[in-house]
Amino acid sequence: MLVFPVHLFQQVRGAYVLGPAVALVMTLAILVMATVALMLWIVALLALGMAH
């Protein structure tokens, strides 16, 4: 589970030529947004399943 966040951090840091602190903040923001999107998707699937 740690491989993806580490890879994402390195990609963000290298692609945008950022310092480690800014790259860490951006990585955390991306991970939070991805988690929210996943939770919304799961809720939508559950709602569709209950509506059927």
Which pLDDT value is given to residue 37?
98
Which pLDDT value is given to residue 26?
97
pTM of the model: 0.83
pLDDT digits (tens, 9 = 90+) for 14-47: 999 999 999 999 999 999 999 999 999 999 999 9
d(CA 48, CA 12): 36
d(CA 30, CA 5): 10
Alpha-carbon dihedral of residues 20, 23, 28, 34, nearest 10 degrees? -150
Which pLDDT value is given to residue 47?
94
Which pLDDT value is given to residue 36?
98
